[in-house]
């Protein structure tokens, strides 16, 4: 199958294949719901903080920049970036982890995985055509969504996936770019949001050699740490630094040919889109600090715990009484396993809808 092929015929117009993918993703219901899905800070804490929607847009912008400088296909990278988080549950990763737990506890050994759920969203759960389910995206975009993180082979993926998407091979270079852009985006904006919310400060972050380097650059501009503009310039320069060094490093490893669209390599080989070892070390050092001092902060854990309880009890209620779900989901229970239908329903919720439904069912607020 060619990277621009689709599972169903598509009417041609003035757009190329990947721009058509991008437009279908942006106009989907799942994409709009990302506005009210948690990134790290629950949305109702303030209007400033990133959500899954703003995160996806930031990833897309960074991925386009890197792809353009490496001579890759910007439109493909943009499409993968915009769709890569469509399968995330409410309440961030803790919501997905809890849904995985409740599924495995009583129903199936193959629980919940958000990359696969994103694939399900664009191939099955979105309804935009009479003749078939899904958005009918190109093979290359679907592969980038499915293979967003390594390892690509999962126990719940049938032989069909291996035959069609070659799970023993890395995805396209554009998909690799999105993976790195995702990392750059969440590191930078989590720091920005964390400092804004007062959960972490530059004194703590300065223990990272990468942060220390960027802070020195900001100070050279005549700014002091206590100034509001310092945080803005820090975030901007951090993104610029990581993007620049990634481009410079990756140029050494990507194929020296103009015909590299959707080129894949065996998964046993190193990724061509990569940093040099010293930069990788610095990023790991920074991520360790963020995990210990920001993501495990008690204020974050309290909010995430309430989200975890919400997911757990919603799942229990909907399994016990499927008629609490909309008719489209109730009808699916007649031909599909109820636990998977309930998981699809919960995964598609925004944070505020999940909390609203929890309040309606149990009569208490989180």
Cα 223 vs. chain centroid, distance in angstroms?
33
Which residues make Cβ contacts (< 8 Å) with residue 245, sequence separation at least 6? 275, 276, 279
Please report, for the chain, the start and end positions of each structural domain, with discontinuous segments joined by +: 19-362
The predicted structure's pLDDT at residue 6: 83
The predicted structure's pLDDT at residue 179: 97
The predicted structure's pLDDT at residue 258: 47
SS3 38: strand
> What is the distance between the alpha carbons of residues 119 and 295, in angstroms, rounded to a whole number?
27
The predicted structure's pLDDT at residue 275: 97
The predicted structure's pLDDT at residue 66: 98
**Token couple for 198:** 């007062």
> What is the distance between the alpha carbons of residues 27 and 48, in angstroms, rounded to a whole number?
24
The predicted structure's pLDDT at residue 86: 96
**Token couple for 72:** 């890759």
Instruction: Please give the full DSSP string across 175-216, using - where no structure is assigned.
Output: HHHHHHHHHHHHHHHHHHHHHHTTS--HHHHTTSHHHHHHHH
User: What whole-number percentage of the chain has pLDDT above 90?
Assistant: 76
191: nearest Cα among 93, 97, 58, 36: 58
The predicted structure's pLDDT at residue 259: 52
State which residues of the chain have pLDDT below 70: 1, 41-48, 256-263, 365-366
Architecture of the domain defined by 19-362: Orthogonal Bundle (1.10)
Torsional class of 102: left (φ above 0), alpha (ψ -120 to 50), beta (otherwise): alpha
């Amino acid at each position: 199958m060619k990277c621009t092929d689709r599972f169903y015929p598509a009417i041609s117009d003035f757009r190329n294949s990947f721009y058509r993918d991008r437009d279908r993703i942006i106009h989907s219901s799942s994409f709009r719901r990302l506005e009210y899905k948690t990134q790290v800070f629950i949305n109702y804490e303030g209007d400033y903080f990133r959500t899954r929607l703003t995160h996806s847009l930031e990833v897309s912008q960074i991925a386009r920049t890197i792809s353009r400088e490496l001579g890759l296909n910007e439109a493909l990278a943009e499409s993968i970036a915009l769709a890569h988080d469509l399968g995330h549950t409410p309440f961030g990763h803790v919501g997905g982890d809890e849904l995985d737990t409740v599924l495995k506890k009583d129903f199936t050994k193959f629980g919940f995985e958000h990359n696969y759920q994103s694939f399900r969203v664009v191939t099955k759960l979105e309804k935009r055509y009479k003749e078939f389910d899904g958005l009918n995206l190109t093979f290359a975009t679907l592969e980038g969504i499915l293979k967003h993180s390594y390892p690509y082979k999962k126990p719940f993926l049938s032989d069909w996936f291996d035959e069609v998407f070659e799970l023993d091979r890395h995805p396209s270079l554009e998909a690799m770019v999105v993976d790195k852009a995702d990392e750059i985006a969440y590191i930078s904006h989590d720091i920005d949001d964390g400092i804004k919310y007062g959960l972490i400060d530059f004194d703590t972050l300065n223990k990272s050699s990468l942060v220390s380097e960027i802070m020195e650059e900001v100070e050279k501009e005549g700014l002091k740490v206590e100034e509001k503009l310092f945080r803005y310039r820090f975030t901007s320069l951090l993104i610029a630094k990581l993007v620049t060094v990634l481009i410079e490093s990756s140029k050494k490893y990507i194929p020296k040919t103009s015909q590299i669209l959707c080129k894949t390599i065996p998964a046993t080989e190193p990724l061509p889109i990569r940093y040099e070892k010293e930069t990788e070390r610095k990023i790991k050092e920074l991520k360790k600090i963020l995990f210990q001092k920001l993501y495990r902060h008690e204020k974050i854990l309290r909010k995430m715990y309430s989200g975890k309880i919400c997911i757990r009890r919603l799942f229990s209620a909907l399994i016990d009484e499927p008629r609490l779900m909309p008719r489209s989901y109730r009808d699916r229970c007649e031909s599909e396993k109820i636990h998977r239908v309930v998981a699809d329903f919960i995964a598609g919720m925004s944070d505020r809808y999940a909390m609203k439904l929890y309040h309606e069912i149990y009569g208490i607020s989180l």
